[in-house]
């Protein structure tokens, strides 16, 4: 069941290095309905022109991003802070997967923030100390490197499972072609094939025609499919 009242988490990028990565993170956020980005001490300053092309249209996230000098300042209004990092030695905090953390965020009635560290080093111990929960992604132990946008999109996707989002690739399913359309295509094919010797030898002609009909009638054609195929047959006839 979707939770339309859930407070979206704030995405906090801690000391990000490249503007391109900030833009890609913004794109990942907006794909899954997250819009509030906070940036802490970016290496190359802010605003950063290179973030815009990388955002691929998520300009609103970039334009409204808030800049902070410290992580503490970026999360000062948040009651729940999650740090995305590997489990730190000597740190005794709850550890969750992205799915588990997202479930808890949906159950909250107070603002929350998710921290993402610099591209090369990740969050340091002082950053993690500000969080109440560590979020770790189960990955291949032999290759555990995730870039910034990948980490953001994992969290954003898991959070989006609890809200109602449109499916942009969803299209109306076309009705199947009518029997009349199928018969027209079969007749067209047979007419085009007869001069080629396709139905030779004569004693095999009934079986060959039946096999051709079987292929056409079981393919699940739509009206546009039939039109396209008849166009192909017509073009072949003209070429010959």
pTM reported for the whole predicted model: 0.70
Per-residue pLDDT for 145 more than 90?
no
Residue 212 CB-half CA count within 13 A: 20
Query: Which H/E stretch holds residue 116?
Result: strand 112-116
- Mean pLDDT, residues 221-235: 85
Per-residue pLDDT for 6 more than 90?
no
The DSSP bridge pattern shows strands 80-84 and 10-14 to be unpaired
Q: Which pLDDT tens digit goes with each residue over 176-202? A: 888 999 999 999 999 988 888 888 888
CA dist list (Å): 233 to 78, 178, 218, 219, 230: 65, 19, 19, 17, 5
**Can you give the pLDDT at residue 168?**
59
Homologous superfamily in CATH for domain 10-160: SPOUT methyltransferase, trefoil knot domain (3.40.1280.10)
- Mean pLDDT, residues 27-51: 96
Per-residue pLDDT for 1 more than 50?
no
């Amino acid at each position: 069941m979707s939770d339309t009242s859930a407070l979206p988490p704030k995405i906090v990028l801690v000391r990000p290095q490249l503007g391109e990565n900030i833009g890609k993170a913004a794109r990942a956020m907006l794909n899954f309905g997250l819009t509030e980005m906070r940036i802490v001490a970016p290496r190359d300053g802010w605003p950063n022109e290179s973030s815009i092309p990388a955002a691929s249209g998520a300009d609103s996230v970039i334009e409204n991003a808030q800049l902070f000098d410290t992580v503490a300042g970026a999360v000062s209004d948040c009651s729940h802070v999650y740090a995305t990092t590997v489990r730190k030695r000597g740190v005794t905090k709850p550890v969750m997967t992205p799915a588990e953390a997202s479930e808890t965020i949906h159950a909250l009635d107070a603002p929350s923030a998710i921290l993402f560290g610099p591209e090369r080093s990740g969050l340091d111990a002082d950053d993690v100390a500000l969080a109440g929960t560590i979020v770790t992604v189960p990955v291949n132990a032999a290759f555990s490197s995730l870039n910034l946008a990948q980490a953001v999109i994992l969290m954003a996707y898991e959070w989006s499972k609890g809200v109602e989002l449109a499916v942009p690739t969803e299209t109306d399913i076309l009705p199947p072609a009518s029997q009349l359309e199928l018969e027209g295509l079969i007749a067209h094919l047979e007419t085009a094939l007869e001069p080629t010797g396709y139905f030779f030898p004569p004693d095999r002609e009934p079986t060959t025609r039946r096999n051709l009909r079987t292929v056409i009638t079981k393919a699940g054609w739509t009206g546009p499919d039939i039109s396209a195929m008849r166009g192909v047959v017509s073009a072949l006839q003209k070429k010959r």
